[in-house]
Structures are given as structure tokens and as C-alpha cells.
A and B are shown apart, each in its own frame.
Chain A
Amino acid sequence: MKSISAVIVWCTAALFSAATVPAEEITQADLLTIVRTQAEQIKKLQQEVAELKKAYGRRTGPTRDESIQRIVTTEVAEQLRESAADTLAEEDSAHFGDIDIHGFISQGYMKSTDNNYLTLNSNDGSVEWHEAAINFSKQFTEDLRGGLQLYMRNIGDMGNYNVELDWAYGDYNWRDWLGLRIGKVKTPLGLYSDVQDLEFLNTWILLPQSVYPVGQRSLQLAHIGADLYGEIPLSTFGSLAYQGYVGTRELDKYGGFFMNQSDKDQPIDDLDINQLAGFDLTWETPLNDFILGWSYYMDDYIMKGHYSPTHATKPAYQDWIKETREPRTINQFYTQYTLGDFRFDAEFRRVLKEEKNVINSSDAHQDQRGGYGALTYRFTDFWAASIYYSRFYKDYYSYDMNRSSRKHRSDPSNLMKDWCLTTLFDINTFWNIKMEAHFIDGYSRGMFELRSNPNGLKESWNLFAIKTSFNF
């Protein structure tokens, strides 16, 4: 037993010096050095083993235990060499010099009954659903890293394969409790806002649309500015992760918001977000894998545009200007609890908006509310399934944007209820396939009725989707 313990100590020491020591700085050069060093050690040890075997045969020299110890050590060294070579091969596939390169590409299919969805011709079945991204990042020092991600999508009429800068920032992580990010940073809003495009990382194909609308993804996706972040230990009360930010934002001109305005013959010429700020707090409770969180976001904006010649009531090309009377605010509360292979998610989002039409001095008020509850179970590494229920009110108090008329809160144009069943197959680490069924009541979001559903919408409708993604 003593000799085995000695081998373990030796092996640990070898690992200290060769493998995991500069864990943050394992480079191709380091790995080559490891392989060469191990090769030399192996050669030396093999010679020793040959001598020891000879000596053991003569019953002189080292004891039997010592001989075995050294033989085992040789085997360990051999395995180290092989593994280091494997690692070298693995690292090569994801590195270009010192720069990490990763990406993904995905393809979806959507079929719906009655209504077309997300500008896709989904009633007939549509495969016009592509997404791709590639990112480059580099660790400059132990504290400093930087990178950028390019993203493009085409979902029906949205995206049009326009390549956009998804994020690009420098990150200085001074301490665990304080770090600084500057550049274009993903906005933390709830559990999935920053990964809403990375469908291959989520169980679902469509995140609950009450909280994460595909058509309006750029409204809260990323900001350009500065972030402070960190995690503060709270002793027996768990820990508190925070992220606070200020800055501005650019909206996706190929996204649903701009498209909707054009469809209403009020295209946007310019949209400036004057100021933007927010924070995200995540409390990791003492109960294992149970988190509670609150995200807050506010911004001020001014939109300028004109009326199209086809507008029903307004003179052609007359300008319109809208701005926030009070800062637009978003409050989002969330929780996640993981117990073994079960995971429970729940979120609630409230968006309050008070807009002023500068030209005719009219006001518009909107109180959007949405939330969902989801239960996911992972059966095996290969297979998971999930169910969620999502509910969305376009305006909880059911006024139209001009406060001139009031609709019933449950009017299908104001409400959307969605039962979703999903199953996910992870073929391997890099490739997955998902299937999803939605049973929907209402059409208050993502319908683009003037463009995609000119013949009207049906209150109860179903949707089926398949999506596959490859990432590296």
C-alpha cells in the first residue's frame, strides 16, 4: 500500500508540474513541452525499469515493491504523455494562436395551424429559419480578457442575414467581488436574456414569448457602456451576484420593432436611446441550486419617423416624433431550482412605458406583463424534455396606445397563453435536435398581422417546430 501511495504522490507531483499547474495558461507551447518532458522521462524510466527487472531477476538490488512502484510509475508517465498529446490535439481544434474561436449554426422548421408566426409562412410550413454566430476571444492576462461575437439570423422577413456585432468588450476581473466590462455587453435581464439567441444552450426552441419575444430581441439584448459585476459571499446566507450597467443601445433595424412600424405606415427614421441603466441581482440561497433574482432596467428614448404615402389618415411624409415621458422601466423577477435531474424555472416581467407624441402632444401608456413557469427533466445525457406555460398581456389595463378605447383584458389581441411541450436530443456535445409543440390561445405577440396575416387571425392555434444546431 505504501508503494501505491508513493505512486499517487508522484503522480500528483507530476500533474502539478506538468499539467494543471498553469491551468490558465495552457498553450500549445506548454503542451509541447509537457509531451517532450514526459517522453524524456519515459525513456529514462523505461531504462530504469529494464535494469530493475534484470536486477529483480537476480534477486539483488531494489526490493520487489520498489520495482513494482517504478513500473507503475512508468505506466502513469506513458499515459500522461498520451493524454497530453490528446489534449494538444483537442486544444488545436479550438485555438488559432492564443485566440479561442467558437461558433454555432442552426436550422429550424416551423409549421402552424391557422396563423402565420414570426413573419414565417408557417401555415404552409417554413424552413426560413437560420441562425449563426462566431466568436473570438483572448485571455491577455490572468485578470484581463477580451473578445467579440458576430451574429446573423434570418427568420422569415427578420434579420435578412445581416451580420451584427452581438457583443464586443474588454473584461477586467480584479477580484471575485469586483470586475469591470467595457464595450458592447449582453444585458442581464432574468435567466435567459443574454443567451436568448443561443437556442442550442436552452431546452426549448422558442423561449417563453411572454418574456423573451423573438421579434423584439434587440430591445433588451445588449448595451454599449460599462458594467460593474461581482459576487459577494453572504456566509450562511449563500451569496449575491450583481451586475450594474450604464450606457446606450442600438436597435436591430432588421428586427420586429422596426418592421412593425413600417407595416403601420409609420417607418422609423431614427431612434436614439439617450440613457440607459440597470442592474441584476441574483441571490444564491443557502438551499442548494435554488436562486432568486431581480433585474431592473430603465431607458429614455426619442423616435423620429414619417408617415408613408399609403397611411390611411396622415398626410404623406409628415414627420412624427415620439419620446418617453417617463423613463421606460422593466422589472423582472426570476427563480430557478434544480433538484437532481429536475429543473424548475419561473419568471415574471413587467414593462412600463409612457410615450409622448411631440407633434400632437398626445400620450400613450402601456403596462405589459408576462410570465411563465417551466419544468424540465433530463432523462439521460442524451435526452431531456420540458413543459412550460406562458401568459402575456400586451397591456394589462387593456387601453389602446392612445387611451382612446378600452379592450377587455382577455381580448385575444391583448392576451397570449401558450402551453409548450419540448423534447431535446443531444446527439453529442456539438450537435442537438429539438422538437416542440405549442398550444396557443390569443395573438398579441409575434403575429405581424398586417404583413403575415392580412386575412385575420384565429384565437386558438397550434404550432410545431423542429430545430437542429451545431456548435464548436
Chain B
Amino acid sequence: MKGRYCSMCLLAAAMLLCCLVFGVAVAEEAQTTKIVIIANKTVTTDSISKKDLKKIFLGSKKTLAGGVRVFPVVLKSSDTHKTFLKTFIGKSDNAFQNYWKKLLFTGKSRMCRRSLFRKRNSLPL
């Protein structure tokens, strides 16, 4: 019994150590990327709250004022994409993809499309 709890504590300590090491190693980069949200020309809305934007990119809001249907399209994996997700959606790229896969594999939505740009430099911002 004692040995069992010892091994449990050792495993937890190893995980904590890894946490500290990686936590230092993976320091956040300065996020200075400028984000521009673009939409269909039929979308007449010229402003949107951060809350609504998050809901659109998480698939829970599909209709804008005036009944216009929207579906999110995101950049391919890039620093710009990651900054956008962290700033506006509050998720890492991995968590964002998992979120959409959950909807997909339960039949609630199709996958959020990734297009058209791969790199931040693809847009002259």
C-alpha cells in the first residue's frame, strides 16, 4: 500500500518536473500580429463583438443580423492563426481542431474549413 502511494507520488512529481522544465522552455512569443477578419461581400455587418466572433468560430452562431448565414474559414496553421485563436477564441490550435472534430464526429457540424492562406506573409498586412 505504501509502495503504491510512493509510486503514485513519484509519477506525479515526474510530471510536475516536466511541467516546470517545459513551462520555462516554452515561453510565449510576443504577439504583435495584426489580425484582420474578412467576410463575404454579402455580409453587410461592418462590426462584430468579440463574443459573437467567438461563437461564429465555434459554430454556435450561424446567423448574423439580417439573417445572413455564416460559416468560419480559418488560416492554415501559422503564427497569425495561433494568435487569432488565442486572442479571440481562447483556444490553442489543437484545442480548436479538437472542438470541431467533436462536432464532426457527433454529426453536429462539418469541419471548420482551413483556407486559403498558409502563411502570415501571404497577406500583405
Chain A residues at the B interface, C-beta cutoff of 8 Å: 4, 7-8, 11-13, 15-17, 19-24, 26, 72, 75-76, 79-80, 83-84, 86-87, 90-91, 94, 100, 102, 104, 133, 135, 137, 139, 142-143, 145, 147-149, 167-169, 171, 173, 175-176, 185-186, 194-195, 198, 201, 231, 239, 241, 288-289, 338, 341, 377-381, 383, 385, 387, 419, 421, 423, 426, 429, 437, 439, 460, 462, 471
Contacts and interface: CB of A to CB of B under 8 A. Distances in A.
Residue among A20, A84, A289, A419 with max Cβ neighbours from chain B (10 Å): A20
Given A86-B118, A90-B115, A379-B19, A11 B124 contact: yes
B124 A24 contact: no
28 contacts: A15-B116, A16-B41, A20-B38, A21-B40, A23-B71, A24-B70, A83-B118, A84-B116, A90-B115, A100-B110, A100-B111, A135-B104, A135-B107, A149-B107, A167-B107, A168-B107, A175-B63, A176-B60, A195-B105, A195-B106, A198-B105, A380-B22, A380-B26, A385-B15, A421-B8, A439-B4, A460-B4, A471-B101
Contacts of B55: 231, 239
A274 to B, nearest CB: 26
A386 B39 CA distance: 38
A19 B110 CA distance: 18
A21 B118 CA distance: 18
A171 B108 contact: yes
Contacts of B114: 87, 90
Nearest to A175: B63
Given A15-B116, A147-B107, A175-B63, A419 B39 contact: no
Contacts of A171: 107-108
Contact of A195 (B4, B39, B102): B102
A173 B62 contact: yes
Contacts of B22: 379-380, 383
Contacts of B70: 23-24
A12 B38 CA distance: 7
B114 to A, nearest CB: 7
Given A20-B39, A176-B63, A139 B110 contact: yes
Nearest to B113: A26
B47 interface: no
Nearest to B26: A380
A231 B60 contact: yes
A91 B116 CA distance: 11
Interface string B8-24: 10011001001100110
B123 interface: yes
B48 interface: no
Residue among B15, B62, B105, B106 with max Cβ neighbours from chain A (10 Å): B105
A423 B69 CA distance: 40
Nearest to B95: A378
A22 B102 contact: no
A171 B122 CA distance: 37
Contact of B15 (A20, A23, A84, A423): A423
Nearest to A88: B115
Interface in B75-109: 76, 90, 92-95, 97-98, 101-102, 104-109
A452 to B, nearest CB: 22
A24 B69 contact: yes
A471 B35 CA distance: 30
A420 B123 CA distance: 45
Nearest to B89: A289
| A-B complex: 9 closest residue pairs judged by Cβ atoms | A87-B115, A16-B41, A24-B71, A83-B116, A19-B116, A379-B22, A21-B40, A23-B71, A142-B69
B63 A169 contact: no
A109 B15 CA distance: 21
B105 A149 contact: yes
Given A23-B113, A102-B104, 15 more contacts: A4-B124, A11-B124, A12-B36, A19-B116, A24-B70, A26-B115, A76-B124, A83-B117, A139-B110, A148-B107, A198-B105, A378-B94, A379-B18, A385-B18, A460-B1
A102 B111 contact: yes
Nearest to B109: A145
B116 to A, nearest CB: 4
B8 to A, nearest CB: 5
B15 A421 contact: yes
B30 interface: no
Contacts of B93: 381
B107 A169 contact: yes
B87 to A, nearest CB: 12
B60 A381 contact: no
A20 B117 CA distance: 11
B90 A288 contact: yes
B72 A241 contact: no
Contacts of A383: 22
B106 A167 contact: yes
Contacts of A23: 40, 70-73, 113
Interface string B40-53: 11100000000000
Nearest to B1: A460
A176 B61 contact: yes
A11 B12 contact: no
Given A12-B38, A16-B41, A439-B4, A83 B62 contact: no
A289 B98 CA distance: 16
A102 B105 contact: yes
B18 to A, nearest CB: 8
